[in-house]
Amino acid sequence: MSEFDKYTLAPPPPAGAASSEERQWALFAHLSALTGLFTGGVGNIVGPLVIWLIKKDTMPFAVDQAREALNFNITLLIVGVLLLLITLVTFGLGAVLTFPLSILLGIAWLVLTIIGGMKANDGVAYRYPFALRLVK
């Protein structure tokens, strides 16, 4: 091993740590929810679900993060449906409350999804601050 190689080779990951490939798939699991912006909301659930199903037998860290992203997006879907129902039941009068809440919910979703992706890429198991643990 030359003197140059000692300084350019990355050290192996510690035992039990997620590999770079696994961290990358975990990043994709979180950020795949952003496809919902272009698919009318369907991608919010489908993206993390596909990664969870594809990697469930081979990459435990990526699967954990895909499950976390899936649970978070299912939780926000439920909240969004409840806000819509409140608006409909009150014949639109509830929109005074639900519209600002929907905007805040959308901003929180975007920010937390990006934070989750960044943390997962660093190898940190990210937990969303509010998510129902529906998928185990």
The mean pLDDT values, 10 residues at a time, for the chain of 136 residues are: 51 65 95 88 90 94 96 94 95 93 95 96 93 88
2 in a structural domain: no
How many structural domains does the chain have? 1
27 in a structural domain: yes
130 in a structural domain: no
pLDDT of residue 11: 44
90 in a structural domain: yes
Contact 22, 125 (CB under 8 A): no
Beta strands in 53-95 (DSSP E): none
48 in a structural domain: yes
DSSP per-residue codes, 31-57? HGGGGGGTTTTTHHHHHHHHHHHHHTT
29 in a structural domain: yes
81 in a structural domain: yes
68 in a structural domain: yes
Domain holding 77, by residue range, is 19-121
pTM: 0.84
Cβ-based neighbours of 123, under 8 Å, separated by 6 or more: 17, 18, 23, 61
